[in-house]
């Protein structure tokens, strides 16, 4: 049942660091986070790791496992062969604080730049009426646990640090889509803001975000592409354009 | 001394779960400058783990529902030990708090006529839980988080700074509350990231730190649940009540070992799931206690009819309050009728079509598939009890959430009284909102009432708090040094084995001896490394709180010689009406290194609330003396 696994874990801080080798016990049914916890308890008490619910619901324990962005609590050891070395590194897109913990403040800054839900005027609390089929589109996006793996994997910011200023990333473009599709949101122009303020145009729909989403949200197909279509309707619709021109 | 970051606020809220965020929103809306201090990142609090829903008698699915029915259910669930005023406020205000969430942008599942859908849950007479699939807690936390952001956006428009009136200090742990005389003056803590100290000057502090589950081995609680608020309150001079009442949720995962304790939502049963033992028998019919006999079906046919016709049938016994179901599962396993990995079977696969299961219980489907290789649409789950919630907490004034210490408030799981001896599922999320808001108001009004008489923090107190925070780096007694992880593991084992779901006087006494030993050993804990994001150090600090809170649980559990709700004494199996009248109150002892527990009388139930129950039902819980003035009408 149990076996000794070979692990490489990145240890260090903003100044630098490297992969350190560990040999550690693994038991049946365990996930990568269990093994990291065992390392803390037995070999490296000060190994920094962020985690919380250990059930895939809070999105705290994001890291890269053998190069793939994943939640450590939802990555079972049984997906690796017993002689395979498991390499755990911090998310690459965000600055390292220590070991597996990164500074994810970029995401909170972007979250703050998305205008909040605007309640409809004249509808009292308790009087909101919405059809299930209409709320389901936004509900899919509200499954997001904010693990930021999509932000981490998106090459727009992963490979181009400069883009962080002008690009909010898949998580927050999806948040705009969610509000845009909310049946009662009274804020106007969400699609245009996605383009002008949040860099929707940077996204070239490679679907990497969708691939790494632990909640299996179809970020690209259901949020980003429909937003792009709405932007295209607004800015590039030839008939609308002609109409705009004649009304100048 | 190392550098110290200083901030001044009107109100400091400790904890960023549902209660803390709702309190912060309220205080900010009342014009106060507010800080929210939390151990995790913003939006990660344990509230995200809540699955089933928020209980509120909106009557969207069954229009017979109203606050009185909800109040009655809550009191029954808590075996009438509840603070009745809290239960009353909760039942009355829960619908408004849920509707308010929609104005923050929340998207609940809908009924056919477009209202918020409500589902059945244990102990609730009508479908009452507003929900979003089985991820309601996430929806709650995200809605509150986004409301905070929207208030910050308002402040940005007015002042140019998002954080001018409301700031979240994430990954920051409070280790001490500071006082000026008998009043709260602020809080001292450290940034988890850097280990640097931070001081908050504030006349009002709201504790919203959640529970204590990490003192137990098998628990659905996350690492944050180390009883911080309970311990901070004790050390600041406040009292805790009802600490002997710990809820073991009947259905936690039991296999594989690494996920043991992770919650399996009660919605599985609310939506038709049934419990079976290894003989395939629906055993809950054998465990309906006398006090509930007239409310629960005694045969499968009636139980199954109830899902479609609640007017003419009694409820299935799988939906008894959690304490009853947890004890029943425990008994089945002990009698040798358990599942292969020491639980019982929870089956929804034979009760609902696969697509319906995936629609209603998506995260359960996901969780079992990913973590246990079990497809819940095709086979039963294996489940068993897991430490889930503490009914006990800071003794508060119901209307304002004020503790006995001026300037200290508490709401949510860290507050005691509301749920009596056992909390009903769904009543936690509503509790967070109702009393989070009340704590925000209470704190704001308290600050307004101070005028110029603001408390001042003594520098000597700050020095003392800094010294205590780093003591573990200096090493304990030579040769006796301890590792925090080892002490923690032994604490969890002790509480699990000796003060767990079924308690015996002798074992609880053993636990108290073990706790004293662990307290000694904890003084010799040594932390390796430095202060930057050092989990060993963080655990060492949290352990002090866990040890203090565990002592409260064990001492109160030893004193209460009856069985009620989340406190089962095998050596005192009966419920005792004389004990219903009494609360066990924990305070810090004179030496400051342990707790004293004393008993005090409950405030008698207000006559009009008493009048909501039949005499025959009251007679099951109250002493004849307490019912002397109640007309003994026949039901």
**From the CA of B186, how many Å to the nearest CA of chain A?**
26
Which residues 217-236 of chain B have a CB within 8 Å of chain A?
A: 222-224
In a domain, B295, yes or no: yes
CA–CA gap between residue A1 and residue A14 (Å, rounded): 39
User: Cα–Cα distances in Å, from B534 out to A44, A46, A54, B214, B339?
Assistant: 10, 5, 19, 19, 40
Torsion sign (Cα): B572, B574, B578, B583? positive
Q: What percent of chain A has pLDDT over 70?
A: 96
**From the CA of B133, how many Å to the nearest CA of chain A?**
10
CA torsion A191-A70-A156-A225 (nearest 10°) is -30
Which residues 504-543 of chain B have a CB within 8 Å of chain A?
A: 527-530, 532-537
Which residues 189-218 of chain A have a CB within 8 Å of chain B?
A: none
Q: Show residues of chain A in contact with B99, CB under 8 Å.
A: 125-126, 128
Mean pLDDT of chain A: 94
Q: Are residues B520 and B395 in the same domain?
A: no
- B383 — phi, psi (to 5°)? -135, 155
Q: Are residues B296 and B185 in the same domain?
A: no
Q: Are residues B228 and B376 in the same domain?
A: no
Instruction: Band the pLDDT of B320: cuts 50, 70, 90.
Output: very high
Q: Is A6 helix (H, G, I), strand (E, B) or coil?
A: strand
Q: Are residues B363 and B400 in the same domain?
A: no
Residues shown for chain A:
248
Specify the pLDDT at position B1.
47
Specify the pLDDT at position A246.
64
| From-to residues of CATH 1.10.1060.10 in chain A | 105-243
Whether the pLDDT of residue A236 is over 80: the answer is no
Nearest residue on chain B to A138, alpha-carbon basis: B107
CA–CA gap between residue A27 and residue B159 (Å, rounded): 55
Nearest residue on chain B to A132, alpha-carbon basis: B110
Q: Are residues B78 and B158 in the same domain?
A: yes
Q: Do A31 and B42 touch (CB under 8 A)?
A: no
User: Cα–Cα distances in Å, from B365 out to B354, B404, B520?
Assistant: 10, 45, 45
- Peptide bond between residue B163 and the one before it cis (omega within 30 degrees of 0): no
Q: Do A52 and B223 touch (CB under 8 A)?
A: yes
Q: Predicted ipTM?
A: 0.94
Q: Are residues B295 and B378 in the same domain?
A: yes
Q: Please answer whether residues A43 and A24 qualify as being in contact, where contact means their C-beta atoms are separated by less than 8 angstroms.
A: yes
Pick among 3.10.20.30, 3.20.20.80, 3.30.470.10, 1.10.10.10: CATH of A3-102:
3.10.20.30
Whether the CB of A116 is below 8 Å from some CB of chain B: the reply is yes
CATH number for position B193:
3.50.50.60
The CATH number assigned to the domain with range A105-243 reads 1.10.1060.10
Question: In this structure, what token pair is assigned to residue B227?
Answer: 């009883």
CA angle B93, B95, B101 (to 5 degrees): 105
In a domain, B594, yes or no: no
Is B322 annotated as catalytic? Answer: yes
In a domain, B598, yes or no: no
Whether the CB of B163 is below 8 Å from some CB of chain A: the reply is no
Mean local confidence (pLDDT), B77-99: 98
Q: Are residues B192 and B142 in the same domain?
A: yes
Specify the pLDDT at position B635.
43
Q: Are residues B228 and B261 in the same domain?
A: no
- Identify the active-site residue in B276, B322, B438, B569: B322
Specify the pLDDT at position A245.
63
What range defines the domain where residue B485 resides?
477-586
Q: Are residues B88 and B165 in the same domain?
A: yes
Whether the pLDDT of residue A248 is over 60: the answer is no
Q: Are residues B440 and B515 in the same domain?
A: no
Condensed to tens digits (0 to 9), the pLDDT of residues B239-271 reads: 999 999 999 999 999 988 888 999 999 999 999
Q: Identify from B18, B36, B101, B107 which residue to disrupt to test chain A contact, counting A C-beta atoms within 10 A and taking the largest count.
A: B107
Residues shown for chain B:
635
| From-to residues of CATH 3.10.20.30 in chain A | 3-102
Condensed to tens digits (0 to 9), the pLDDT of residues B614-633 reads: 999 999 999 999 998 887 65
DSSP assignments along B546-577, one per residue: HHHHHHHHHHHHHH--S-BTTB-BTTS-S--H
Nearest residue on chain A to B44, alpha-carbon basis: A58
Q: What percent of chain B has pLDDT over 70?
A: 99
In a domain, B622, yes or no: no
Q: Are residues B240 and B270 in the same domain?
A: no
Specify the pLDDT at position B2.
58
pTM, full prediction: 0.95
**Across the interface, which of A112, A132, A142 has its CB nearest the CB of B142?**
A142
Which of B331, B361, B387 marks a domain boundary?
B387
Whether the pLDDT of residue A247 is over 80: the answer is no
User: Cα–Cα distances in Å, from B417 out to A209, B243, B390, B396?
Assistant: 46, 10, 11, 8
Structural domains in chain B (count)? 3
Whether the CB of B473 is below 8 Å from some CB of chain A: the reply is no
Edge-to-edge strands, sheet with B172-180 = B4-8, B197-201, B183-191, B172-180
CA–CA gap between residue B526 and residue B474 (Å, rounded): 7
Whether the CB of B616 is below 8 Å from some CB of chain A: the reply is no
In a domain, B277, yes or no: yes
Condensed to tens digits (0 to 9), the pLDDT of residues B123-182 reads: 999 999 999 998 999 999 999 999 999 999 999 999 999 999 999 999 999 999 999 999
Mean pLDDT of chain B: 95
Nearest residue on chain B to A113, alpha-carbon basis: B153
Condensed to tens digits (0 to 9), the pLDDT of residues B186-232 reads: 999 999 999 999 999 999 999 999 999 999 999 999 999 999 999 99
CA–CA gap between residue A116 and residue B159 (Å, rounded): 18
Nearest residue on chain B to A103, alpha-carbon basis: B193
CA–CA gap between residue A172 and residue A151 (Å, rounded): 9
HSE-CB of B379 using CA atoms within 13 angstroms: 10
Specify the pLDDT at position A237.
72
Which of B354, B387, B420 marks a domain boundary?
B387
**From the CA of A130, how many Å to the nearest CA of chain B?**
5
**Across the interface, which of B105, B114, B536 has its CB nearest the CB of A117?**
B105
Q: Are residues B10 and B149 in the same domain?
A: yes
Neighbours of B505 (CB within 10 A): 14
């Amino acid at each position: 049942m149990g076996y000794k696994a070979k692990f490489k874990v990145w240890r260090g801080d903003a100044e630098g660091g490297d992969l350190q080798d560990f040999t550690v016990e693994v038991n049946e049914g365990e996930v990568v986070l269990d093994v990291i916890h065992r390392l803390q308890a037995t070999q490296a008490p000060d190994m920094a790791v962020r985690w919380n619910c250990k059930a895939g619901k809070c999105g705290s324990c994001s890291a890269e496992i053998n190069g793939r962005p994943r939640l450590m609590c939802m990555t079972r050891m049984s997906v690796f062969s017993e002689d395979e070395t498991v390499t755990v590194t911090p998310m690459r897109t965000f600055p390292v604080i220590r070991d597996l913990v990164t500074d994810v403040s970029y995401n909170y800054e972007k979250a703050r730049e998305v205008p909040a839900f605007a309640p409809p005027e004249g509808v009292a609390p308790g009087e909101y009426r919405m059809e299930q089929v209409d709320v389901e589109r936004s509900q899919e996006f509200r499954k997001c646990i904010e693990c930021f793996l999509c932000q981490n994997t998106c090459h727009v910011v992963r490979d181009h640090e400069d883009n962080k200023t002008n690009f909010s990333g898949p998580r927050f473009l999806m948040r705009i889509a969610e509000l845009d599709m909310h049946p009662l949101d009274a804020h106007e122009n969400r699609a245009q803001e996605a383009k002008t303020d949040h860099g929707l145009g940077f996204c070239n729909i490679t679907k990497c975000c969708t691939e790494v989403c632990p909640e299996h949200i179809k970020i690209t197909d259901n949020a980003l592409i429909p937003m792009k279509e709405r932007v295209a309707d607004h800015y590039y619709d030839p008939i609308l354009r002609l109409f705009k021109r004649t009304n100048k | 001394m190392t550098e110290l970051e200083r901030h001044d606020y009107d109100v400091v809220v400790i904890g960023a779960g549902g209660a803390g965020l709702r309190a912060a929103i309220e205080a900010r809306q009342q014009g106060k400058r507010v800080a929210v201090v939390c151990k995790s990142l913003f939006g990660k609090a344990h509230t995200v783990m809540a699955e089933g829903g928020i209980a509120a008698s909106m009557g969207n699915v069954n229009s017979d529902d109203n606050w009185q029915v909800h109040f009655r259910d809550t009191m029954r669930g808590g075996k009438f030990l509840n603070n009745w005023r809290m239960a009353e406020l909760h039942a009355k205000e829960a619908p408004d708090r849920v509707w308010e969430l929609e104005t923050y942008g929340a998207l609940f599942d809908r009924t056919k006529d477009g209202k918020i859908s409500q589902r059945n849950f244990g102990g609730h007479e009508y479908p009452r839980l507003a929900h979003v699939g089985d991820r309601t807690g996430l929806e709650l936390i995200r809605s509150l988080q986004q409301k905070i952001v929207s208030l910050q956006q308002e402040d940005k428009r007015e002042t140019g700074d998002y954080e001018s009136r409301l700031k979240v200090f994430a990954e920051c742990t409070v280790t001490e509350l500071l006082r000026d005389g008998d009043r709260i003056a602020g809080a001292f803590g450290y940034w988890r990231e850097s280990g640097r100290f931070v001081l908050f000057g504030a006349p009002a502090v709201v504790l919203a730190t959640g529970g204590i589950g990490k003192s137990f081995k098998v628990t659905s609680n996350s690492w944050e649940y180390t009883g911080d608020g309970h311990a901070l309150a004790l050390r600041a001079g406040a009292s805790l009540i009802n600490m002997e009442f710990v809820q073991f949720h009947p259905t936690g995962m039991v296999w594989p070992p690494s996920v043991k304790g992770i919650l399996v939502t009660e919605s599985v049963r609310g939506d038709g799931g049934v419990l079976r033992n290894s003989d395939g028998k629906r055993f809950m019919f054998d465990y309906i206690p006398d006090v509930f006999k007239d409310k629960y079906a005694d045969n499968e046919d009636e139980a199954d009819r109830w899902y479609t016709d609640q007017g003419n049938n009694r409820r299935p016994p799988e939906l008894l309050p959690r304490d009853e179901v947890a004890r029943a599962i425990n008994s089945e396993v002990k009698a040798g009728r358990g599942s292969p990995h020491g639980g019982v079977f929870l089956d929804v696969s034979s009760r609902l079509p696969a697509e319906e299961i995936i629609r209603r219980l998506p995260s359960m489907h996901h969780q079992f598939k990913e973590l246990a290789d079990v497809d819940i649409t095709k086979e039963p789950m294996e489940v068993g009890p897991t430490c889930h919630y503490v009914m006990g907490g800071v003794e508060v004034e119901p209307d304002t959430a004020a503790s006995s210490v001026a300037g200290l408030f508490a709401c949510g799981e860290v507050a005691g009284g509301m749920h009596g001896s056992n909390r009903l599922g769904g009543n936690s999320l509503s509790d967070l909102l109702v009393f989070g808001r009340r704590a925000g108001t209470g704190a704001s009004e308290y600050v307004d009432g101070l005028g110029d008489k603001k408390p001042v923090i003594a520098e000597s107190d700050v020095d003392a708090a800094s010294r205590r925070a780093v003591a573990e780096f200096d090493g304990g007694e030579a040769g006796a040094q301890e590792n925090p992880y080892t002490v923690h593991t032994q604490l969890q084992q002790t509480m699990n084995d000796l003060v767990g779901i079924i308690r015996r006087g002798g074992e609880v006494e053993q636990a108290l001896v073990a706790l004293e030993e662990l307290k000694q050993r904890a003084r010799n804990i040594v932390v390796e490394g430095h202060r930057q994001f050092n989990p060993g150090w963080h655990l060492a600090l949290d352990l002090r709180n866990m040890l203090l809170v565990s002592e409260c649980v064990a001492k109160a559990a030893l004193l209460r010689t009856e069985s009620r709700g989340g406190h089962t004494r095998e050596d005192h199996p009966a419920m005792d009406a004389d004990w219903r009248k009494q609360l066990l109150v924990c305070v810090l002892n004179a030496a400051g290194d342990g707790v004293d527990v004393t008993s005090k009388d409950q405030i008698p139930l207000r006559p009009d609330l008493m009048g909501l129950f039949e005499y025959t039902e009251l007679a099951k819980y109250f002493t004849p003396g307490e019912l002397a003035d109640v007309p003994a009408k026949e039901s």
